[in-house]
Chains A and B, each alone.
Chain A
């Protein structure tokens, strides 16, 4: 448990996150209008989205399937009966004057999300619920000095609100929670997790307490739209609450708005000013009733999710929790790794090392994605094969890899062109060893005298240097020891 040191002692931070994840679907939650991002303002607005008189919502089945898939991915209870309710409030970008949401009876109940921490350990964070709701439109306040413009393209797009239990204890865990949630959503194909485009948005509920004491009063910080900002908002709010409490003050239950430029939040409204949303079941929609068989079908079609994949990578391939975690974070990366393994033909640990260190390093350095990378899984596999059969040494393999990245050629071609083939011919190595021994009598004596056993390493280095790195280090070692009489 990570505690924060205040002026008067240690404090525990208690965090719950509400994540709004935009559902991947072709059309909106209750209308046929498109959900594509980036279209001209108000070009994707149906009569229903604009709340024209007499228009009625019709539930999009695909959005329901996506919510159920997500619930299953969070190992959560799927509620076979759920109810859409109206959340009533006035705003210019809310055409109906209410948001259709779920309140008392959400489609998904309690579940669990396992977060991966940097030290390789994991922690389970409880999921309170997941419900479906409509997004509002967008108010544009910066287009005109006096007027506000409204873009309704987003109005009515399906969101999943995923609410965690107050199980998170630090900014770091909050980051891990969002990363893991995003990973699962992407695996499931239910949300693209793109925070820059707003398809994943986060509200932070936070309170502080002395360890072991009951929960303190919480605040809700809204509008936090990147993992970094979530962590900033947590650090800021935890510090602020501790300062207030240590100065003898009390925390007001309130809603705060995060300002990403300042890295601070400010009070938006107090509990007294809180809206009375007058939730009631939407009489335009019947309760949503699902068959267990429908849920079972969706469950059967789910992909392997990050946790299962990680466990399999550790068990089947002998990978460390850390390596496995890195590989499974993105489904495409895990798939790439397994393509490199080519059905277990190649050494999993060697492959993991090359994929996570060299390959991902090169991707990061060059700023390209997996799909555009000059080296595909087959080519990387070819290089691993040359390492495995001794054609190229591990050291020179890095040089080969760099050349492959530059040229896009396969490993064998590079090795051929650059003459980087490892020398494994014993007689050739013997000749090199003899030469080095002859040229360095002092070191030979040192070795023989047993004064410094590490001197063998020096000899290996000399021989490797003489071979321009191409000699097989194992063979060099063996021959040296024999010749020096170890």
Chain B
């Protein structure tokens, strides 16, 4: 039998159901892996006791033949999700000791289906970043290394802990959140699968808000199937989130038929950006060839407003963030630094509690919403956002899914781009358009760069048509046969 930490989530699920191993054994193997992987700094909190007691409860259920869809599956949870009684920091000093009295809807859904909590995962502060270097608890190290180099690389962000934990075999799956690429980019950087579902598919209730109109939870795992399994449990309408949509939750796993004959795949010319590396061009072409070989029809399309997506995203997301983060004022919970007046307390608290990147975005957001600038920035960005969504709508008259690279390049060394925010923001250039349009998108590991680092391909689909996206992703995955392992693998 494969080592429990090297199984896919689907394999482990089946082995548990057949009682080939116990949930406790599975949890113990993963807890050991979590411990071994500590140098990666992927976890902010480990919850071994909770994991074991949840696993034991799962074993009892399995013994009675009452296993639920995720019975006994050990998962890591991004620290943006509020978990009852377990510190939920959002990667910020501001919420250092914050233990919620409530459980986010998405995690509650996972526990309802029998999943086991291994711990909370490191992330960019308040999910703002593309490197996981903005975390108040330190950067997350990518388990991969470039060939012939020992340089530490970023795991990507903001769900860097979630990505690294999966890649290093510390967890069978993790939750991430994606506002402009925070699931897909780190998934691509670490050679795993990460999916951002349609906006409104997963409840945002209990997830610390970054940009409300963009934030969306999603699964990260080592296979498309595993993501499909997790997504089913995470999804569902929640009356506590007015933006969650009343849509039936399909059995996403059933969508993985492997049959994409006749599927129309769009290739947007605007994504062929200036200076795109040759290896990325090759990878993209390889993806096109794979899908064509599987019977898909490849169609060139245009998404004319693509070049405006990145600035639009940084205006909209920062505007919403500046308002969403106003509640961290030191009055009711979280960090408080005293001052001689209310204003001084605010300044001291927010000055000490927020890191540089968060402050930068609060300032940008406040600026673009302020009188005299609102129309030029925020309102214009909203209008452009509508145009971007329309681009996609028009494309879907011709195609079913859209294939693009996930990121402009592979993982970069820790510490790089930190003093060049624009270069950092460019990481999201391929991922933000789908976020602005609210559409489901997935990153699948498709190959290695010349330096031997993972690269991902992205598939984008129609709103609430995750099934088609997953089906195509499954075919891509099958064709890519991405079996390379990172330099560091826990418990190997």
- Interface of A toward B, CB cutoff 8 Å: 47, 50-59, 86, 88, 90-92, 95-98, 148, 150, 276, 278, 280, 282-286
* Chain B residues with CB under 8 A of A86: 323
Interface membership of chain B positions 221-255, coded 1 if the CB is closer than 8 angstroms to chain A and 0 otherwise? 00000000000000000011111000000000000
Contacts of A280 in B (CB 8 A): 319, 323, 369, 374, 378
Which one of A95, A97, A276, A286 lies within 8 Å of B323 (CB-CB)? A97
Q: Is the CB of A278 within 8 A of B82?
A: no
Please, which residues of chain A bring their CB within 8 A of the CB of B342? 91-92, 148
User: Smallest Cβ distance from B217 to chain A, in angstroms?
Assistant: 11
Q: Name the distance in Å between A326's Cβ and chain B's nearest Cβ.
A: 46
Q: CB-CB < 8 A to A286: which residues of B?
A: 242-243
Does the CB pair B90–A284 fall under 8 Å? no
Contact of A284 among B81, B243, B331, B366 (CB under 8 A): B243
Cβ of B96 to closest chain A Cβ, rounded Å: 13
Cα A252 to Cα B208 with chains together (Å): 43
Contacts of A55 in B (CB 8 A): 205-206
CA distance A194 to B124 in the complex (A): 50
Q: Find chain A residues with CB under 8 A from B208 CB.
A: 53-54
Smallest CB separation, A274 vs chain B (Å): 9
- A contact residues around B207 at 8 Å (CB): 54
List, sorted by A's number, 7 A–B pairs whose CB atoms are closer than 8 Å: A51-B327, A53-B100, A59-B242, A95-B327, A97-B323, A278-B370, A285-B243
**Contact: A284 with B242, CB < 8 Å?**
yes
Contact of B320 among A47, A57, A91, A283 (CB under 8 A): A283
Also in contact, A53 and B327, with CB within 8 A (given A95-B332, A278-B370): yes
Q: How far is the CA of A88 from the CA of B370 in the complex (A)?
A: 10
For B314-330 the 0/1 string (1 means CB < 8 A from A) is 00000110110111010
* Contact call A276/B371, Cβ cutoff below 8 A: yes
By beta carbon, the residue of chain A nearest B350 is A90
User: A58 to B242, alpha carbons, bound, how many Å?
Assistant: 6
Tell me whether A54 and B242 are in contact (CB under 8 A): no
Shortest CB-to-CB span from A62 to chain B, Å, is 15
Within 8 A of A (CB), among B314-362: 319-320, 322-323, 325-327, 329, 331-333, 342-343, 346
* Chain B residues in 8 Å Cβ range of A91: 342
B366 and A278 contacting across the interface, CB-CB below 8 Å? yes
Smallest Cβ-Cβ distance to A92: which chain B residue: B331
The 8 residue pairs across chains A and B that have the minimum distance between CB atoms: A97-B326, A283-B212, A283-B213, A278-B369, A51-B327, A54-B206, A53-B208, A276-B371
Interface string of B172-213 (1 = CB under 8 A from A): 000000000000000000000000000000001111110111
Instruction: Give the contacting residue for B209; candidates A47, A54, A88, A285; CB below 8 A.
Output: A54
Are B240 and A58 in contact, with the CB atoms below 8 A? Answer: yes
B263 contacts A by Cβ under 8 Å: no
Closest chain-A Cβ to B263's Cβ sits at a distance in Å of: 32
Inside 8 A of A278's CB, which chain B residues have their CB? 322-323, 366, 369-371, 374
Cβ–Cβ < 8 Å partners of A285 in chain B: 242-243
Which of A47, A98, A282, A284 makes the CB contact (< 8 A) with B102?
A: A47
| Cβ contact within 8 Å between B326 and A284 | no
Q: Are B98 and A53 in contact (CB under 8 A)?
A: yes
Q: What are the residues of chain B within 8 A of A95 when measuring CB–CB?
A: 327, 331-332
* Cα distance, A285 to B320, chains bound together (Å): 13
Across the interface, A88 reaches (CB within 8 A) one of B95, B211, B369, namely B369
Q: Are B213 and A54 in touch, CB under 8 angstroms?
A: no
Chain A min CB distance to B349 (Å): 11
Q: Are B329 and A97 in contact (CB under 8 A)?
A: yes
> Nearest chain-B residue to A91 (Cβ)?
B342
Q: Which of B95, B213, B239, B240 contacts A53 (CB 8 A)?
A: B95
In the complex, whether B88 has a CB less than 8 A from a CB of chain A is: yes
Smallest Cβ distance from A30 to chain B, in angstroms? 9
The CA of A92 and the CA of B343, in the complex, are separated in Å by 10
A276 to B366, CA, bound (A): 10
Asked if residues B212 and A284 are in contact (CB atoms below 8 Å), the reply is yes
Contact between chains at B205 and A56 (CB < 8 Å): yes
Query: Closest residue to B367 on the A side, CB-wise?
Result: A278
Is residue B302 within 8 Å, beta carbon to beta carbon, of the partner chain?
no
Query: B104: nearest residue on chain A (CB-CB)?
Result: A54
Q: Give the residue name and chain of the B residue nearest to A148 (CB).
A: B342
CA distance A95 to B328 in the complex (A): 9
A-side contacts of B204, CB under 8 Å: 54, 56
- What is the CA–CA distance of A286 and B241 in the complex, to the nearest angstrom? 10
Complex Cα spacing A50 to B95, Å: 15
A96 touches B326 (CB 8 A): yes
Residues of B within 8 A of A50 (CB): 332
> In the complex, what distance in Å separates the CA atom of A341 from the CA atom of B102?
59
Cα A90 to Cα B370 with chains together (Å): 15
Across-interface contacts of B242 in A (CB, < 8 A): 56-59, 284-286
Contact A98 B323, beta carbon cutoff 8 Å: yes
- Would B326 and A88 count as touching, CB distance under 8 A? yes
How many Å lie between the Cα of A280 and that of B212 in the bound state? 13
A92 to B242, CA, bound (A): 26
Contacts of A96 in B (CB 8 A): 326-327
Chain A residues, Cβ within 8 Å of B370 = 276, 278
Closest to B215 in A: A283
Task: Give every chain A residue within 8 A of B332 (Cβ-Cβ).
Answer: 50-51, 95
B348 shortest CB reach to chain A, Å: 13
For A150, what are the chain B residues with a Cβ–Cβ distance below 8 Å?
331
Q: Roughly how many angstroms separate A92 CA and B342 CA in the complex, as a whole number?
A: 8
| A53-B323 in contact given A47-B102, A58-B242 (Cβ < 8 Å) | no
Cα(A1)–Cα(B236), bound, Å: 62
A54 touches B205 (CB 8 A): yes
Contact of B240 (CB < 8 Å), options: A52, A56, A98, A148 = A56
**Cα(A59)–Cα(B207), bound, Å:** 19
Residues of B within 8 A of A98 (CB): 323, 326
Which chain B residues numbered 96 to 122 have a C-beta less than 8 Å away from chain A? 98, 100-102, 104
B239, B323, B369 interface centre (most CB from chain A within 10 Å): B323
Task: List residues of chain B with CB within 8 A of the CB of A283.
Answer: 211-213, 243, 320
CB-contacts of B8-39 with A (<8 A): none
Query: Quick one: which of B95, B104, B211, B327 has the most chain A CB within 10 A?
Result: B327
Q: B326 and A53: CB pair below 8 A? A: no
Contact B329 A52 (CB under 8 A): no
Assembled-state Cα–Cα distance A278/B371 (Å) = 7
CA–CA, A163 to B371, complex, Å? 23
A157 to B40, CA, bound (A): 47
Using CB atoms, name the residue of chain A closest to B342: A92
Q: Which of B319, B332, B366 has the most CB of A within 10 A?
A: B332
Task: Tell me which residues across on chain A come within 8 A of B213, comparing CB atoms.
Answer: 283
A53 touches B88 (CB 8 A): yes
Query: Measured between alpha carbons, how far is A280 from B326 in the docked complex, in Å?
Result: 14
Residue of A nearest to B366 (CB): A278
Closest residue of chain A to B98 (Cβ to Cβ) is: A53
CB-CB < 8 A to A57: which residues of B?
A: 242
Q: A97-B329, A278-B366, A284-B242 are in contact. Are A52 and B323 (CB under 8 A)?
A: no
B205, A88: Cβ atoms under 8 Å? no
Contacts of B90 on A, CB cut-off 8 Å? 53
- Quick one: closest A residue to B95, CB to CB? A53
Additional A-B contacts beyond A52-B100, A96-B326, A280-B378 (14; CB < 8 A): A53-B95, A54-B206, A54-B208, A54-B209, A55-B205, A56-B242, A57-B242, A97-B326, A150-B331, A276-B370, A278-B323, A278-B370, A278-B371, A280-B369
Which of B212, B242, B346 counts the most chain A CB atoms within 10 A? B242
Q: How far is the CB of A258 from chain B (nearest CB, A)?
A: 23
For A45, give the chain B residue with the smallest CB separation: B332
Assembled-state Cα–Cα distance A283/B212 (Å) = 6
The smallest C-beta distance from A170 to any residue of chain B, in angstroms, reads: 34
Contacts of B323 in A (CB 8 A): 86, 88, 97-98, 278, 280
Question: In whole angstroms, how far apart are the Cα atoms of A50 and B239 in the complex?
Answer: 19
Q: Report the Cα distance A97→B329, complex, angstroms.
A: 8
> What's the Cα separation between A91 and B320 when bound, in Å?
19
CA distance A53 to B104 in the complex (A): 10
Pick the most buried of A50, A96, A283, A286: most chain B CB atoms within 10 A of its CB: A283
**A52 partner residues in chain B, CB cutoff 8 A:** 100, 102, 333
